[in-house]
Amino acid sequence: MKEETYMFQIQNTLVSLDLAERFFCCDLEACKGECCIEGDAGAPVTEAEVAEIEKALPVIAEDMLPAGRREVEENGVSYIDCEGDRVTTIVDGRNCAFTCYAPGGVCLCAIEKARLAGKIEFRKPISCYLYPVRVTEYPTFTAVNYHRWKICRSAEANGRRLGIRLYEFLKEPLTERFGKEWYDELALCCSEYLKAYSE
């Protein structure tokens, strides 16, 4: 009988088994980037990220929607939410102020769009880059969890169709956040876990 395991311990992090078990690959044509639109708070940001966004704002503003520009001009690029976390400014209680739209109604990030066009170097907040994984800091460890949300069902179906696991889909952002050694250890744990689970 196999011993039950509920989390992977990678260095000083506890990682949900969802990263190994869940298939995932964003399908923007299906979801239209709804994760940037729905929700009751903005994306978590650090003070350093706020400074980067403020510095790039003149460029980013070119692609922001008028309502987003007004909100940022009046209230800044971030605020403290009801849980005490610093998050990006939102419009009408839901839309991220930095959203913009591509033909076909696909929601994009004005920050990321500017970076891809070579106008700025800052990518976007790491919390956005890591999504749908959420990272929570505790006094003695860091938790890495999958944020399960109905709007990502198309991404789960797409990942299953393509055979891409969540930890594989997020290789680049996880490596950026935790380092290559950490990711390599995670990938090995996921591979061994899935091998054992299939036996």
Kindly report, residue by residue over 90-147, the tens digit of the pLDDT: 998 778 999 998 888 888 899 999 999 999 999 999 999 999 999 999 999 999 999 9
User: Which pairing describes strands 78-80 and 86-88: parallel, antiparallel, or unpaired?
Assistant: antiparallel
pLDDT band at 2 (very low <50, low <70, confident <90, very high): very low
CA distances from 142 to 85, 134, 179 (A): 16, 10, 14
Q: Reduced to 3 states, what is the DSSP secondary structure of residue 61?
A: coil
Q: Reduced to 3 states, what is the DSSP secondary structure of residue 31?
A: helix
- Cβ atoms of 24 and 169 closer than 8 Å: yes
- Model's pTM, two decimal places? 0.88
Q: Which pLDDT does position 199 carry in this prediction? A: 58
pLDDT per residue over 49-93, tens digit each? 999 999 999 999 999 999 999 999 999 999 999 889 999 999 987
Q: Kind and range of the H or E element at 30?
A: helix 28-31
Q: Which amino acid is at 149?
A: W
Domain ranges of the chain: 1-24+132-199, 32-123
pLDDT per residue over 146-177, tens digit each? 998 888 899 999 999 999 999 999 999 999 99
